[in-house]
Chain A
């Protein structure tokens, strides 16, 4: 059991950059391009780690500490993600709150660094990031509370271990709506297309990308890798919810989940290819809608 548990974070650390590669490949396919290699982010990370760092003279020590803080928060968060019936290496009642606040701490550190650069573009990006995160966070918590009530457990591993196909049969609409609200959350938190465009080249419209604009070398590598881990965490939560734990043996869960993650990456890629980015004024409406969905599901769950 112990060794199986260790495979979960290990595969997250190894395979997280692959998800972004798959998303890019899907987008290239839709655009009719050949596209970059699926392993491009690995090459990028290897290249960045070999380089030296350049720091602006306006920045203080905060700016230098932040990449390590962000990366370590994400690495810790991956330790708490279970896969269906397989428990995570770190699990206790209420760890979902720790997970949410580890992600919050990473975001806070990133915002501090962005403000530390003294650049007005980065300040703007930080302001948007915080605004959207504040609107997106309720949907994570409300969804989690619904799952906790549904399964009667308070820890991530317990929740997803007892979320079986029977729970899907008893409350299909509610669980599906939680999944919808989490999908919006995933796209928002990872700055994917309807909310933010990861490939944009105009600082005025960037949200996440503009905040890491001043980093270079290993620091940028840390930030990119942390972003890949974040995408992995949110996709894993969604896959956990959508693919209920089956009783087909623990070793079968791992390939099943990897397939789920590939499908999730494909889904994100398809969404990015077929949708246009929302106007910035429209984004809060979408996020409030996702949060309202979560609140609605919670209220209906409490009723019956």
Chain B
């Protein structure tokens, strides 16, 4: 029963690897944020401690509500709905995801890590979140999916922090949460402006970006020049 949340986290990662719809992917990351918010409350006597509630509410507010809302808002302003041609296809991503799950399980069970008080399933899920996040960053073209990958990766690090529990200072977690919030906020604003100026957010075309474009009146005019 205690393993349900880590299992759901792993499941959401597999979903992210196989989904092409950006809106659904963002919602899935929001679900991850909510699950992560509940996770610290299930650790030992956490329900009785005030700062744990604060911590949990803070992460739900930032990761489950604020950041997904921001990304959805950015997505709405942009003219893309799907990740069309990822560098690695969706089925291949899922299969690689299973290999990564095996890998993270192997790492989690290695004696050096397994000795702590963190349960092996939670540790596996945490490592898997980190790996999925990295994989999403390297295998997808759209900047918004890569931002999601970054967020998933951070979720993994957070899960390890929660699993270790008391040894991880509360104030550090809150600081990291703030950093992530600012980071994603900046990425969102950047994506918004890049999409405005260049009509795309494909990262493999970012090399073409330069301030030369500012001399043209509008993106449409720039497109004509390019073609």
Contact = CB atoms under 8 A, between A and B. Distances in A.
| Same assembly | yes
Interface in A164-195: 169-174, 177
Contact of A174 (B7, B14, B105, B109): B7
Contacts of A300: 3, 6-7, 10, 105, 121, 124
B143 interface: no
Contacts of B6: 300
A1 interface: no
Interface in A270-304: 284-285, 288-289, 292-293, 295-296, 299-300, 302-304
Contacts of A169: 1
Contacts, number: 64
Nearest to B89: A285
B207 to A, nearest CB: 31
B98 A171 contact: no
Chain B interface helix/strand/loop/mixed = helix
B91 A284 contact: yes
A282 to B, nearest CB: 10
Given A173-B7, A300-B7, A300-B124, A293 B105 contact: no
Interface in B2-18: 3-4, 6-8, 10-11, 14, 18
Contacts of A174: 3, 7
B109 A303 contact: yes
Nearest to B7: A173
Scoring B94, B102, B121 by chain A CB atoms within 10 A of each residue's CB, the highest score goes to: B94
B101 interface: yes
A302 B121 CA distance: 9
Contacts of A288: 18, 91, 94-95
Interface size class of chain B, counting residues whose CB lies under 8 Å from the partner chain = 20 to 34
A296 B98 contact: yes
A295 B105 CA distance: 12
A177 B7 CA distance: 10
Given A174-B7, A177-B7, A303 B124 contact: yes
Contacts of A296: 10-11, 14, 98, 101
B204 to A, nearest CB: 23
A143 B105 CA distance: 19
Contacts of A293: 11, 14
B4 A173 contact: yes
B97 interface: yes
B8 A285 contact: no
Contacts of B108: 303
Contacts of A171: 3
Contacts of A285: 18, 90-91, 94
B7 A292 contact: no
B119 interface: yes
A131 B16 CA distance: 25
A152 B89 CA distance: 38
Nearest to A170: B1
Contacts of A170: 1
A304 B3 CA distance: 8
B108 to A, nearest CB: 7
Contacts of B119: 304
Contact of B11 (A177, A284, A295): A177
Given A285-B91, A288-B91, A296-B11, A304 B101 contact: no
Nearest to B8: A173
Interface string A214-241: 0000000000000000000000000000
Given A296-B14, A299-B102, A303-B124, 10 more contacts: A171-B3, A284-B91, A285-B18, A285-B90, A288-B18, A288-B95, A296-B98, A299-B101, A300-B10, A304-B124
Top 9 A-B pairs ranked by shortest CB distance?
A304-B121, A173-B7, A173-B4, A295-B98, A292-B94, A288-B91, A303-B120, A304-B120, A303-B124
Interface of B: 1, 3-4, 6-8, 10-11, 14, 18, 90-91, 94-95, 97-98, 101-102, 105, 108-109, 119-121, 124
Interface of A: 169-174, 177, 284-285, 288-289, 292-293, 295-296, 299-300, 302-304
